[in-house]
Amino acid sequence: MGGDPHYSNGMWLWLLMISTADPAYLALREGRLDDAVALFQLAVWQQPEHVHLRMDLAYTLLRTGERERARDEFEAALRRQPGDAAAELEYAFLCYETRRPAEARRVFQKLSASAEPLVRTTAAAAFEQVDRPLREGIERWRRALALAPAQWSGHEELAHLAEQREEFELAAEQYELAWKLRPAKTELLLALERVWSALDRPQEARAALVAAWRTGPPRVAERARERLNGAIPSETEMALATPAVAAGAKEEAVVHAKEMGLKSLEQSYLADAHRYLTLANQQAPDDAEVQYGLGVVENLRGRNGEAVHWFAAARRSKDSRVSGAAQTAYDNLRQEARGFAFAAWAVPFYSSRWQDMFLYGQMRGEYRLKGGQLTPYVSLRMVGNVRGRHAGPWAISPQYLSETSVIAAGGLQWRIRHNLFAWGEAGQSFSYLGRREDTGFSRPDYRGGLSWLKGWGRLLGAGEAGWFAETGLDPVYASRFQHNLFLYSQTRTGYTLPLAAGGAQVQLLMHWNVTVDRNREWWGNLAEAGPGVRMQLPGLPAGMTIRAEFLRGAHLQNHGNPLRPNYWDFRSGVWYAFSR
């Protein structure tokens, strides 16, 4: 039995001669719990048929905080003498507390039919507490996978919940789907063996163990060997496992190339994305996600003939999410191939700081020249607000809140890279108020600058959850404001929530905005930060998001500032863009 620091070898010899557990109960009454545990262990060893001694050992272990050991002793006692409802209830609670929810759920469910009212009531309440999260989780993951079935991690999570709820058929189905999508994760074979064993499918269970032993890393292979009781699989078993292993290796190569390609595309590494996605297409020619990814890559590289080919193939997908995006991209590129295209965007929003509605927007007709780098266009901009000007409590004189103008112009855009553009335009500005003290009704308007935008992570509309960041940088020249040069920097960081039932998706984010100008105007130098939310809702047009943000701002230049240097502002509105 081994030594104990509380007792000499002579004491152990004396205790072995005692035929009762009196010393254990004496130590328990005196509060010597460690001694009581050791003495109860000795008594159980001496008299294993006396189940009450093992029960008392379990309760003593519970008092010392050794919950896992207590659970195991209750389990051993109940195997010898089932039917003790109070002990079973204690055992079930210990299972739940020591991360064995499936066993806890099974025992609570059994005790919910107990003849003892207190046990029955307690067990029924505990069963609902354990079972409800499993039921709700299973339903939630079923809905998510119906919208995006290629998520191997979603299949694994659904299988794990189903296994805990003892829905073994569902668990086996989902573990198998997860493994087919991610064959390199050989731990899934061990999970398959568990549920196939529970379903009394011994041949499939053993085949899963053989495959795990044959292909898994050392840790997985060792666990598989232990479950095989150390027996080396026969040549026949190895041969039967080989086709599945080979198929898994092939699928893993496809998955790896596809994942690397899509990840490279997300990070704007176009050469790597093209290489990996081309490899994935060679291995799985009918994969619509790969075809769509290749279309996006070719479009960003300015090779729209090839992009149209890939989008045309991807739009035939049975996955409506992929086919819809591919059809839209295909239609847009076909229109671009004809030379002329029309695009528009609008941002109507309300500002609590100014208690006014604003609208910024542009309609643009463009003609893409051969090669797609240069695009001449005609434009109609709208920059305005409802009230026109504001006389706040801190203003010395009424302040104009926007240009309150419609600006007609012609311009030229040059695509430097897929996310970097240079542009310039000349036109005429018309005030819709009919007059402006500073500019008059109409005047020439010349603008130009650069536009750069880049995103990382799980962006809104992709259907996946995760962290994201996006930033835009726009240096802009405007003749109307004393030939001023502005620099706008807008960054958003946050978390994209999972796709909800029905297709809605939400982003929780933080805004980090900075604006500076060359002329050091008080209204052209400010910094803002604060939380916000963006939503895409089912039923709204594609390209439309609803937004709200709560910002704390500070003017970086206060010379001539008629307002307070710091401010709060709640803004809510809509962003909408489309092209034809």
CA-wise closest residue to 531 among 577, 489, 497, 572 = 572
The band of 20, judged by pLDDT with boundaries at 50, 70 and 90, is: low
Indicate whether 392 and 471 sit together in one domain.
Answer: yes
Q: What's the CATH number where 298 sits?
A: 1.25.40.10
Q: Is the pLDDT of residue 270 over 50?
A: yes
Query: Is position 396 within any domain?
Result: yes
Indicate whether 367 and 318 sit together in one domain.
Answer: no
Distance CA 220, CA 189 (A): 9
Indicate whether 282 and 204 sit together in one domain.
Answer: no
Which range scores top for mean pLDDT: 64-78, 139-153, 299-313, 510-524? 510-524
CA-wise closest residue to 443 among 481, 410, 413 = 481
The answer to whether the Cα torsion of 78, 83, 85, 86 is positive or negative is negative
Tell me how many domains the chain contains.
Answer: 3
Write out pLDDT tens, residues 163-182: 888 888 988 888 888 888 88
Residue-level pLDDT at 371 = 59
- Residue with the larger pLDDT of the pair 456 and 187: 187
List, in sequence order, the alpha helices (H) in 47-151. 51-64, 67-80, 85-97, 101-111, 117-147
pLDDT (mean) for 543-554: 92
Write out pLDDT tens, residues 517-539: 999 998 889 999 999 999 988 87
Query: Is position 199 within any domain?
Result: yes
- Residue with the larger pLDDT of the pair 19 and 451: 451
Indicate whether 385 and 483 sit together in one domain.
Answer: yes
Strand-pairing partners, residue 333, are: none
CA-wise closest residue to 72 among 99, 53, 91 = 91
Domain that holds residue 169: 148-233
Average pLDDT in the chain: 80
Indicate whether 432 and 455 sit together in one domain.
Answer: yes
Indicate whether 444 and 494 sit together in one domain.
Answer: yes
Indicate whether 431 and 500 sit together in one domain.
Answer: yes
Indicate whether 356 and 331 sit together in one domain.
Answer: no
The gap from C-alpha 431 to its chain's centroid, in whole angstroms, comes to 46
Q: Label the pairing between strands 484-496 and 505-517.
A: antiparallel
Strand-pairing partners, residue 455, are: 470
Which range scores top for mean pLDDT: 61-65, 144-148, 359-363, 536-540? 359-363
Indicate whether 284 and 229 sit together in one domain.
Answer: no
The band of 515, judged by pLDDT with boundaries at 50, 70 and 90, is: very high
Query: Is position 103 within any domain?
Result: no
The band of 255, judged by pLDDT with boundaries at 50, 70 and 90, is: low
Indicate whether 226 and 285 sit together in one domain.
Answer: no
Q: What's the CATH number where 376 sits?
A: 2.40.128
Write out pLDDT tens, residues 191-238: 988 998 888 888 888 888 888 877 777 788 888 888 887 666 655 555
Query: Is position 460 within any domain?
Result: yes
Indicate whether 158 and 284 sit together in one domain.
Answer: no
CA-wise closest residue to 479 among 451, 453, 518, 523 = 518
Indicate whether 211 and 312 sit together in one domain.
Answer: no
Query: Is position 138 within any domain?
Result: no
Residue-level pLDDT at 424 = 95
Query: Is position 294 within any domain?
Result: yes
Residue ending a domain, choose from 308, 337, 366: 337
Query: Is position 248 within any domain?
Result: no
pLDDT (mean) for 61-71: 87
Query: Is position 123 within any domain?
Result: no
Residue ending a domain, choose from 337, 362, 395: 337
Residue ending a domain, choose from 337, 357, 389: 337
Q: Is the pLDDT of residue 436 over 70?
A: no
Minimum mean pLDDT among 121-125, 129-133, 204-208, 304-308: which range? Answer: 304-308
Residue-level pLDDT at 348 = 92
Write out pLDDT tens, residues 403-422: 788 999 999 998 887 678 89
